[in-house]
A and B are shown apart, each in its own frame.
Chain A
Amino acid sequence: MELRLEEVQRTSIEVQDGELSGVATRPHVGLAARVLVRGAWGFASGPGTDRIAGRVERACRIARAISTHLRRPVRLAEVPAVQASLRKRPRRDPLEVPLEEKAQLLATLHRELRGLEPRTKSSTVMYEDLSGRKWLLTSDGTSFRTELLAVYQYTTAQGRGGSKIGAVKDEFGAVEHGWEHLERRERPAEVAERLARKLACQLDGKRPRGGSPPCVLAPILTGLFGHESLGHLCEADLAEHGAFAGSLGKQVGPEELTLIDTGHAPEGFGNLAYDDEGVRTRPVRLIDKGWLSGLMTNREYAAALDLPPTGSARAESYQVRPIIRMRNTFFERGSAALEELLSGIREGYYCVDFKGGQMEMNSAFHVGVQEGYEIRRGKIGGPVAGLAISGLATEALQRVSLVGRDFGMESGVCGKDQEAYTSDGGPHLRVERGGIVVGARQ
Chain B
Amino acid sequence: MAEQLLALAELAVRTAERMGAESAEGYVRRSRTTEALLERGQVAAGELREDLRLIVRAQVGRGLGVGFATSTDPAAVRAGASQAVRSAASLPPVGPRWAGFPPRQRSRSARAPARRLRHLPTDLAIEGVSRMRDALGEHEDLRVLAGGVRETEFSIAVANSAGTSAIMTQSKIFAYVETVGRSGTTTTPACRAFAANSSVLPEVEQLAEEARADALEGARRIPVGSATAPVIFGPHALSFGDLGLVSYLLAGAVSAEHLLRGGSALRSAQGRMIASEAITVAEEGAALKWAGARPFDDEGIPTGHHPVIRSGRFQGFLFDFQTACELRQKSTGNGSRDLATGAISVRPHNLRLKPGRKPLADLIAGLRRGYLIKALQGTHSGSPHSGDFSAVCSQAYAIRDGEIAGGVAGLTLTSNLFSILRRVEAVAAEERDCDGTVVAPLLVRPLRFVAKR
Contact = CB atoms under 8 A, between A and B. Distances in A.
A23 to B, nearest CB: 6
Interface string B39-65: 111111111111110000000000011
B91 A23 contact: yes
What's the interface size class on A, roughly? 35 or more
A30 B46 contact: no
A438 B263 contact: no
Given A48-B70, A241-B145, A362-B188, A440 B343 contact: no
B409 interface: yes
Contacts of B51: 46-47, 319
A66 B126 contact: yes
A410 interface: no
B226 interface: yes
Contact of B415 (A65, A304, A442): A442
A305 to B, nearest CB: 10
A434 B453 CA distance: 8
B93 to A, nearest CB: 8
Given A27-B70, A45-B49, A366-B378, A388 B391 contact: yes
Contact of A210 (B92, B226, B382, B391): B226
B309 to A, nearest CB: 20
Interface in B88-147: 90-97, 122-123, 126, 130, 133, 143, 145
B158 to A, nearest CB: 17
Interface string B62-101: 0011101111000000000001000100111111110000
A413 to B, nearest CB: 13
A58 to B, nearest CB: 6
Nearest to A301: B40
A367 to B, nearest CB: 7
Nearest to A69: B43
Contact of A24 (B50, B69, B342, B412): B342
A437 B450 contact: yes
B42 A158 contact: no
Interface string A413-442: 000000000000000000000100111111
Contacts of A167: 262, 383, 385
A6 B353 CA distance: 43
Interface string A351-371: 000111110111110111000
A37 to B, nearest CB: 10
Contacts of B126: 65-66, 69
Contacts of B43: 66, 69-70
A48 B83 CA distance: 19
B44 A437 contact: no
Main secondary structure of the interface of A (DSSP, over half): strand
Given A65-B122, A158-B385, A104 B92 contact: yes
Contact of B381 (A10, A366, A440, A442): A366
Contacts of A238: 145
Interface stretch (A13-21, A185-193, A326-334, A337-345): A13-21
A320 B128 CA distance: 21
Contacts of A357: 378, 381
Nearest to A210: B450
Interface in B378-437: 378, 380-383, 385-386, 388, 390-392, 394, 409-410, 412-416
Contacts of A17: 95, 261
Contact of A23 (B50, B87, B340): B87
Interface in A26-84: 26-30, 40-48, 58-59, 62-63, 65-66, 69-72, 74
B182 interface: yes
Contacts of A442: 228, 414-415, 447-448
A401 interface: no
B265 interface: yes
12 contacts: A40-B46, A41-B39, A47-B52, A158-B261, A165-B263, A167-B262, A241-B143, A362-B409, A363-B187, A367-B378, A439-B391, A441-B414
Given A386-B414, A387-B390, 17 more contacts: A12-B341, A22-B342, A43-B48, A44-B49, A44-B50, A70-B43, A72-B42, A165-B385, A167-B385, A211-B450, A304-B40, A363-B187, A364-B392, A388-B378, A439-B390, A441-B415, A441-B448
